[in-house]
């Protein structure tokens, strides 16, 4: 049917001209239905607020001008719509000139002001009819009469959702017809969400932030800086995060494209598959300090559905998200998108990942490495390092950038010494730099799997366990003979290579037990090393690598073939161990308070601290 649906509303204080207006409308348009609607007097201000998207208090100018009594809603059909630009209260807009002229005429008839409301476009009609009648544009037309029967239907009802939402389906049906949005995360299916006893919050990206808050009837929660709202759905309270466009959550052009290509599925709008995949990767890496566990499977499913496995081989990277990040960068480059720092300070922004691009370029230009790429992105939020892989001629290298103080220098020195003594069980270092904000170490890249993961998988044969235990014995001999204490000996810091060589890594806090002296950085904050060794350390701030290795072997399991290895290690426990002088340091710190009264000389106190 040619033409389009529009609404004309006579608020209470325009109804004295009701008869004349109805007669005139019929000369220009086809009336379909008339509704005499009465709002609850206590909800008038809220209804006006949600209808117009502007905060209006009780007895506002709008309410005084239009009235708070019953109003007349007229649905009309314009068979020959004409569009042009016209000046409205919101500026110049592209409007249906037929409806706009009638609205201006009827406002003149009712002594000016805004006592007459009429829709300027199909979009506005959809918005208004959904809020006023609880039914969208298309669904209304399916059951609307072809001609008005001359009667007015009386209704006592507020805007849809005024007293809470009957269901999540009703809520999203309303949003679908009133605002431009997509669900970013937290909602797979409306029906399963409603029946679930446990669920997280729902994140949506919306153009109209304030209007969205008003329509959903959101109550602010968590803190004033977070766009986090509680919404009553049935008897449940659902949390909704509103991510407003233009706030640098994502590139503005990307946000526009996301909304332009949105798809309606499972009762709500969501980004299309391609955008949904890259939004998940972006959110996981840029907006989070760690990647949520459930994101791994979701990302993999979309990766395979998009057939991106033909573009990048995930097996070439330590973690799948490293490959996904590479794809994200390529996608953003193609689309001319950029990484943006959110204006919302409550949203985490992983600048480390963004910085990795500049670092990769620096390594390529100054150290003649090739194909340098950030990897192990999963760990960026937890450690002080940024990790890379690259090539020096044909040799694949692993680069650790940053770290605390000069730990990269410490790691290079001890890794080099360990490799010289036992090249089978330690990694070959290449070079390092420790100069201002440029701190890194480069070493051989070892393909393999961490011992921690192997133990968790519990798929090792007894023969494989024996080989691992024997190599742990060799590592223990090396540590014992050189009298170095690694301090962080635990399964996570061992890699089993493809040729079944067990290698101990991460020497950033290794010390010489015979000349043990903490760095000034650690003396000032011993909590930096407090967690080293975890449950494999003999005690808090106590380290004995042989004790740690013995405990690991006990967890792995020994056989008759390797029992003597464990016995030898146990016999040497305590011979090379260290303990952080925490008590001595705390006492010195307490004594420092007495400096004010001059009890302890300043020089004497400083000397004690330096000599620890």
Q: Using one digit for the tens of pLDDT, what is the confidence trace for 316-356?
A: 898 999 999 999 999 999 999 999 999 988 898 988 888 88
What pLDDT does residue 227 have?
A: 67
Among 180-194, 387-401, 419-433, 457-471, the minimum mean pLDDT is found in: 180-194
Do 217 and 203 form a contact (C-beta atoms < 8 A)? Answer: no
Alpha-carbon span 285 to 282, nearest angstrom: 5
Q: Looking at residues 27-32, what average pLDDT do you find? A: 97
What pLDDT does residue 62 have?
A: 94
Q: Looking at residues 466-481, what average pLDDT do you find? A: 97
Between 518 and 196, where is the model more confident? Answer: 518
Hey, what CATH class is 168-335 in?
alpha beta
Which tens digits make up the pLDDT trace of 49-86? Answer: 999 999 999 999 999 999 999 999 999 999 999 999 99
Is 70 exceeded by the pLDDT of residue 381?
A: no
Do 577 and 544 form a contact (C-beta atoms < 8 A)? Answer: yes
With cut-offs at 50, 70 and 90, classify the pLDDT of residue 584: low
Q: Looking at residues 22-38, what average pLDDT do you find? A: 97
* Architecture (CATH level 2) of domain 446-580: Orthogonal Bundle (1.10)
- Residue 428 DSSP class: P
With cut-offs at 50, 70 and 90, classify the pLDDT of residue 89: confident
- State the chain's mean pLDDT as an integer: 91
Q: Which CATH number fits domain 4-156: 3.30.460.80, 3.40.50.300, 3.20.20.60, 3.30.70.141?
A: 3.30.70.141
Beta strand spans in 309-465 (E): 370-375, 385-392, 395-402, 429-435, 438-444, 448-450
Between 17 and 344, where is the model more confident? Answer: 17
DSSP string, 40-70: -GGGHHHHHHHHHTS---TT-HHHHHH-SS-
Q: Which phi and psi angles does 435 have, rounded to 5°?
A: -145, 105
With cut-offs at 50, 70 and 90, classify the pLDDT of residue 286: very high
Domain boundaries along the sequence of the chain: 4-156, 168-335, 350-421+429-443, 446-580, 581-612
Among 5-19, 79-93, 221-235, 480-494, the minimum mean pLDDT is found in: 221-235
Is 50 exceeded by the pLDDT of residue 207?
A: yes
Alpha-carbon span 167 to 134, nearest angstrom: 13
Among 132-136, 360-364, 499-503, 608-612, the minimum mean pLDDT is found in: 608-612
CB atoms within 10 A of CB 183: 24
Instruction: Give the CATH fold of the 350-421+429-443 domain.
Output: Phosphorylase Kinase; domain 1 (3.30.200)
Between 304 and 189, where is the model more confident? Answer: 304
Rounded (5°) CA angle 96-100-103: 150
Between 600 and 64, where is the model more confident? Answer: 64
Q: Looking at residues 402-414, what average pLDDT do you find? A: 91
Is 60 exceeded by the pLDDT of residue 8?
A: yes
Which tens digits make up the pLDDT trace of 498-545? Answer: 999 999 999 999 999 999 988 888 888 888 898 999 999 999 899 999
**Domain pair 168-335 / 350-421+429-443, same fold:** no
Across 270-279, 446-455, 595-604, which has the greatest mean pLDDT? 270-279
What pLDDT does residue 599 have?
A: 45
Beta strand spans in 328-474 (E): 370-375, 385-392, 395-402, 429-435, 438-444, 448-450
What pLDDT does residue 383 have?
A: 63
Q: Which phi and psi angles does 50 have, rounded to 5°?
A: -70, -30
Among 163-177, 457-471, 494-508, 574-588, the minimum mean pLDDT is found in: 574-588
Do 185 and 298 form a contact (C-beta atoms < 8 A)? Answer: no
What pLDDT does residue 585 have?
A: 55
With cut-offs at 50, 70 and 90, classify the pLDDT of residue 605: very low
Rounded (5°) CA angle 337-281-400: 95
Is 50 exceeded by the pLDDT of residue 609?
A: no
Alpha-carbon span 169 to 211, nearest angstrom: 19
Q: Looking at residues 415-437, what average pLDDT do you find? A: 95
The set of residues, in sequence order, having a beta carbon less than 8 Å from that of 67 and lying 6+ positions away, is 11, 12, 13, 115
CA 77 to chain centroid: 46
Q: Looking at residues 578-594, what average pLDDT do you find? A: 60
What pLDDT does residue 429 have?
A: 97
Do 397 and 444 form a contact (C-beta atoms < 8 A)? Answer: yes
What pLDDT does residue 136 have?
A: 97
What pLDDT does residue 297 have?
A: 94
């Amino acid at each position: 049917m040619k033409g389009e649906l529009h609404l004309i509303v006579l608020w209470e204080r325009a109804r004295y001209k009701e008869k004349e207006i109805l007669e005139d409308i019929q000369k220009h348009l086809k009336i379909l239905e008339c509704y005499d609607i009465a709002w609850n007097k206590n909800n008038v201000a809220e209804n006006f607020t949600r209808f117009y998207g502007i905060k209006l208090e009780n007895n506002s100018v709008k309410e005084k001008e239009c009235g708070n009594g019953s109003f007349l809603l007229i649905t009309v059909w314009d068979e020959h719509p004409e569009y042009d630009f016209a000046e409205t209260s919101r500026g110049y807009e592209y409007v249906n000139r037929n409806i706009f002229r009638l609205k201006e005429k009827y406002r003149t008839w009712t002594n000016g002001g805004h006592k007459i409301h009429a829709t300027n476009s199909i979009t506005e009609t959809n918005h208004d009819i959904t809020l006023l009648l609880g039914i969208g544009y298309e669904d209304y037309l399916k059951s609307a009469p072809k001609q008005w029967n001359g009667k007015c239907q009386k209704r006592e009802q507020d805007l849809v959702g005024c007293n809470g939402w009957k269901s999540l389906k009703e809520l999203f049906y309303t949003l679908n017809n009133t605002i431009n949005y997509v669900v970013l995360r937290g909602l797979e299916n409306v029906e399963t969400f409603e029946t679930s006893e446990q669920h997280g919050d729902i994140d949506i990206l919306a153009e109209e932030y304030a209007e969205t808050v008003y329509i959903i009837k959101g109550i602010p929660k968590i803190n004033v800086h977070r766009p986090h709202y509680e919404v009553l759905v049935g008897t449940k309270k659902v949390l909704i995060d509103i991510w407003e466009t233009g706030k640098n959550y994502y590139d503005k052009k990307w946000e526009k494209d996301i909304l332009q290509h949105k798809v309606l599925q499972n009762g709500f709008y969501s980004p299309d598959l391609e955008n949904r995949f890259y939004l998940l990767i972006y959110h996981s890496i840029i907006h989070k300090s760690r990647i949520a566990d459930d994101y791994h499977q979701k990302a993999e499913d979309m990766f395979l559905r998009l057939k991106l496995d033909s573009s990048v081989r995930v097996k070439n990277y330590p973690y799948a998200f490293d490959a996904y990040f590479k794809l994200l960068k390529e996608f953003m480059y193609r689309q001319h998108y950029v990484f943006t720092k959110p204006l919302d300070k409550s949203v985490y922004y992983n600048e480390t990942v963004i910085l990795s691009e500049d670092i990769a370029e620096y390594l390529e230009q100054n150290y003649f490495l090739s194909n340098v790429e950030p990897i192990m992105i999963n760990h960026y939020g937890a450690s002080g390092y940024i990790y890379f892989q690259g090539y020096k001629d044909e040799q694949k290298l692993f680069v650790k950038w940053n770290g605390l103080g000069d730990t990269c220098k410490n790691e290079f020195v001890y890794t080099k010494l360990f490799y010289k003594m036992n090249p089978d069980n330690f990694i070959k270092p290449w070079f390092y730099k420790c100069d201002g904000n440029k701190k890194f170490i480069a070493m051989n890249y070892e393909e393999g799997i961490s011992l921690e993961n192997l133990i968790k998988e519990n798929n090792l044969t007894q023969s494989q366990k024996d080989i691992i235990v024997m190599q742990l014995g060799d590592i223990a001999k090396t540590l014992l003979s050189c009298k170095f204490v690694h301090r962080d000996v635990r399964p996570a810091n061992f890699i089993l290579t493809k040729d079944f060589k067990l290698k101990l890594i991460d020497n950033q806090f290794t010390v010489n037990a015979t000349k043990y002296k903490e760095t000034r950085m650690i003396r000032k904050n011993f909590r930096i090393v407090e967690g080293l060794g975890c449950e494999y350390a003999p005690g808090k701030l106590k380290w004995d690598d042989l004790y740690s290795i013995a405990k690991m072997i006990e967890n792995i399991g020994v056989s008759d073939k390797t029992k003597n290895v464990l016995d030898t290690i146990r016999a040497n426990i305590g011979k090379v161990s260290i303990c952080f002088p925490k008590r001595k340091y705390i006492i010195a710190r307490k004594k420092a308070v007495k400096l004010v009264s001059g009890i302890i000389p300043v020089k004497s106190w400083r000397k004690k601290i330096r000599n620890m």
